[in-house]
Amino acid sequence: MGSGKTSVGNALAEKLGWPLIDLDAEIVKSAGKEIEEIFEDSGEACFRQMELKSLKAILEDAPENMILALGGGTILQSEAAEMIKKRCICIYLKSDVQTLYSRLEGKSGRPLLSNKGALLKGLLLKKRIEELMRLRSSAYKEASALSIKTDGLSAEEAAEEIRRKLEL
């Protein structure tokens, strides 16, 4: 949800020479349609089932070293959270509401930030970001081995901080 999972993941993968697997991209590939379309056609519950199935498949075939960029709500599924805690070093990319708002304002393709296809704007968008952060923050904290504040950092700077803290 704008914290930089994909961009930081790409930068870290490049630094370490490891492959990056983006969970949302894998879902899109297997479903043959965009995330927003899945939400519109089948609803969030169906999307979450697809997300869990894709996560299981990725972790079953995972190379020893890889970067896995999760979807923002993946960690809320208890089964997914348990798999991630057992098989991964989970890193919480944390940003404040204003940073997320700046990154997400006017961006389409994020079904949890729209209202029946219309992009949320202004205070509505900020309130939705706050609500999602409130719902997700404890799950992120519980599952994560490391937390990185991404406010004011480029993807490369955040990736370097992760590399340094994990001593990779």
Residues 39-71: tens digit of each pLDDT: 889 999 999 999 999 999 999 988 889 999 998
- CA distances in angstroms from 136 to 20, 81, 131, 141, listed in the order given: 23, 12, 9, 9
Domain architecture of the chain: domains with CATH:
5-166 (3.40.50.300)
Local confidence band at 147 (pLDDT 50, 70, 90 cut-offs):
very high
pTM higher than 0.95 for the full model?
no
Q: What percent of the chain has pLDDT over 90?
A: 65
Local confidence band at 108 (pLDDT 50, 70, 90 cut-offs):
low
Contacts of 133 (CB under 8 A, 6+ apart): 97, 100
Residues 9-35: tens digit of each pLDDT: 999 999 999 999 999 999 999 999 999
pLDDT at 160: 97
pLDDT at 115: 61
Distance CA 96, CA 71 (A): 18
Distance CA 62, CA 44 (A): 26
Distance CA 6, CA 107 (A): 15
* Helix, strand, coil % in the chain, rounded to nearest 5: 60, 10, 25
Please check whether residue 65 is in contact with residue 16, taking contact to mean a CB–CB distance below 8 angstroms: yes
